[in-house]
Structure 1
Amino acid sequence: MGKQENDDGSRRASGGGQAPGSPSSPKPTATRSPSPSLGLGAMDPGSPMGLGDGDPNILDTFRPIETNMSYDVPTDKPYMINPPPLDRPARLYCDGIYDLVHYGHMRALEQAKKLLPNVYLLVGMCNDADTHSRKGKTVLTENERYESMRHCRWVDEIITDAPWIVTQEFLDQHQIDYVCHDDLPYASAESDDVYAFVKAQGRFLPTQRTDGVSTSDLITRIVRDYDKYLRRNLERGMSPKELNISFLKEQELNLQKHVSDIREQIKKNIRGTREDLVGELEDLKAELRHTKLFWEDRGQDFVRGFSSMFGTQVTKIFGRKRRSGGDGSPSKRIRAAPSKDSLASASSEDSR
């Protein structure tokens, strides 16, 4: 990104013909329309494309940031805050490294842009030399970071090679009304809170941090899933040399991919086998129901036929038993009546 000199000698990145916005320039119009009151699912014209504003899953966490249409400044802070200028845009300044620019950065800048009705937002970005010596290596180079920030709609001016710690000279040089940052003490080797002197001058406006995201978190995700990203890039055709990995590492990744493919195949087969078994069980149940109905119907026919046949045979069998040996007389034997002689004999025997 090229640099150009302002009338006051300050350096900024060329931002596509944006006005410098110095306090001595004619009073400009507001940089954007104020956001209307928002209902659930409404789109906020003051946020980038309204992304996420209509999603109920996001609304609970990320409410749209509305423009403060009042010039009142917070009075509940332990430090004084100067009243803003009314005859020109207030010049607000945010500084940082802004490596791997993410929505946490964007929401902080959006807050700063909407803290007052008329804001000219400057963003200072530290160069690679200071950043690498004080904090460590960045993923993006300084020029890549500058160019990324240039596309943020909330930013009016980018100050490259910004100082790691804001100084009085820097504030005066860029005629900054307020420095914006979350108001937790930001310590460094030189101070317990690098913004202490700014707060003492009433030139500090606080913003809120967005929890759950940071550049360090993003790098941690990449480190945690390092092998997965390597395998992905190898599958896309990048060479081990381009990825700076050894032959052994390449073979290890290939083995991991092979094992992963086998696991996925097993999972698919298990799911397929389960679906097949469920289908076969359903077919078996249907067949059993059909067989049950079939035998119920056939069983009734068998019972009727058997009963009819069995009843005829019983009649024949018991009919033959009721007849005697063959002359048709009853088969029951009848005892003969006793004679008078036998009765007399029996009586004489009893009297003895």
Structure 2
Amino acid sequence: MGREEEEEQRQSNATEDRPVRVYADGIYDLFHYGHARSLEQAKKLFPNTYLLVGCCNDELTHKYKGKTVMNEQERYESLRHCKWVDEVIPDAPWVITPEFLDKHQIDYVAHDSLPYADASGAGKDVYEYVKSIGKFKETKRTAGISTSDIIMRIIKDYNKYVMRNLARGYSRKDLGVSYVKEKRLRVNMGIERLREKVKRQREKVGEKIQTVAKTAGMHRNLWVENADRLIAGFLEMFEERCHKMVGELLFLSLLTELAFPISIYRDGFFFVIIRVRRLGTESRSN
């Protein structure tokens, strides 16, 4: 009997006598729908499947892959709440061995077909053994989503997430942010709010002018020329005041809050302001 016939016989016996025991493993950090879809594929490989999911502990993961956001218990618990998973195997091995397959009576191992480099040094691919004995079943990755992608999104908008959490009551120490960094972020947030306010005001003015234009029944081309002139004049006046207000805001915040030694700053603007404050203090004391 050839390998293909043996394979068909094993599948047939497993389906008739008991559920096919399929094993999938991974790190499952920041569990997302890409993970869930891969497990769904593994669960649906056969009409009657018992899906076991192995998850490596922190020690192995940090050694061979790097630091995770979630600890091992959080990752195990995330898997237990996935509807496709029948059983979670904690402390899963990095490389699947014959002993592990026998212990858990595993019929097949499910994973995407790309070679997964064996960082432990045992081989070129952690699934090399199960592929060689015909117990490997391929699943497909979900494009556009991965734990690394999620982390990259957070890093990309790091300042926004810091400000969001500061606004929600987290302290700068909780977030690992320096005093100066916090103040700069708060000033930037104030400027951003001001920009949004200007944008909304601009839209309102545009809407009002459009309404007036329709009411007056002005010729379209003539109106466009006048509208550009009116809006430009308004924005010039409004933005001039905004710049002045922002300048005063920065000046006051620096004078009242950023009283740090001059050596901290390399920028001439900060140097002058702090120096002015010191000179003012000295003159009052004299």
Tell me if TM exceeds 0.5. yes
CA contact (8 A) 1:81 1:202 kept: no
- TM alignment of 1:1-352, pairs within 5 A: 83-84=10-11, 85=14, 86-189=16-119, 190=121, 191-285=123-217
The whole-number CA distance in structure 1 between the counterparts of 2:10 and 2:42 is 16
Post-superposition shift, 1:83?
A: 3.8
The whole-number CA distance in structure 1 between the counterparts of 2:117 and 2:172 is 42
Structure 1 unaligned blocks of 5 or more: 1-74, 287-352
Paired residue type of 1:182? D
CA contact (8 A) 2:28 2:35 kept: yes
Structure 2 unaligned blocks of 5 or more: 219-286
Paired residue type of 1:247? Y
Post-superposition shift, 1:283?
A: 2.4
CA contact (8 A) 1:91 1:122 kept: yes
Post-superposition shift, 1:108?
A: 0.5
In our comparison, the structure showing a higher alpha carbon Rg is 1
The whole-number CA distance in structure 2 between the counterparts of 1:154 and 1:228 is 35
Percent identical among aligned pairs is 55
Post-superposition shift, 1:276?
A: 1.3
Structure with more of its chain in helix, by fraction: 2
Paired residue type of 2:212? E
SS at match of 1:93: strand
Paired residue type of 1:238? Y
Paired residue type of 2:112? D
Query: TM-score, normalised on structure 1?
Result: 0.57
Post-superposition shift, 1:82?
A: 7.2
Paired residue type of 1:156? D
SS at match of 2:50: strand
CA contact (8 A) 1:81 1:205 kept: no
Paired residue type of 1:198? V
CA contact (8 A) 1:198 1:204 kept: yes
CA contact (8 A) 2:21 2:50 kept: yes
Post-superposition shift, 1:168?
A: 1.3
Deviations 1:228-263 (CA, angstroms, capped at 9, x unpaired): 001111111221122121111110110110110111
Alignment length (residue pairs): 208
Residue in structure 1 matched with residue 221 of structure 2 by the alignment? none
Paired residue type of 1:244? G
Post-superposition shift, 1:81?
A: 7.8
Residue in structure 1 matched with residue 231 of structure 2 by the alignment? none
The whole-number CA distance in structure 2 between the counterparts of 1:208 and 1:283 is 60
Query: TM-score, normalised on structure 2?
Result: 0.70
CA contact (8 A) 2:24 2:39 kept: yes
